[in-house]
Amino acid sequence: DFLNTVTTDIIHLHDNKLHQYKGNFAQFEEMYEQRRREVNKAYDKFEKQLKAAKTSTSNAKQKADK
């Protein structure tokens, strides 16, 4: 309760980057968790695209070798 009462802004250092969050500590925790989920979702999407590109390249190479 104390942090929620006295906090209006939080500057969070993560992966050598500063991120500013407006609000109390509970709001920061919610916003940080949401940001973390979004980053993980974007990473998963990237991994899926990378895998598809590798598969496509491999298939094209196999066809060219025939």
- Mean pLDDT across the chain, nearest whole number? 95
Statement: residue 34 has pLDDT above 80: yes
Joined tokens for residue 22: 């407006």
β-bridge partners, 20: 11
* pTM over cut 0.75: no
pLDDT tens digit sequence for 12-33: 999 999 999 999 999 999 999 9
Statement: residue 66 has pLDDT above 80: no
Residues whose CB is less than 8 angstroms from the CB of residue 5 and which lie 6 or more positions away in sequence, other chains included:
24
User: Helix H segments across 1-66?
Assistant: 2-6, 25-65
User: What ranges do the domains of the chain cover?
Assistant: 2-59
32-60 exposure pattern, b = at least 16 Cβ within 10 A, e = fewer:
eeeeeeeeeeeeeeeeeeeeeeeeeeeee
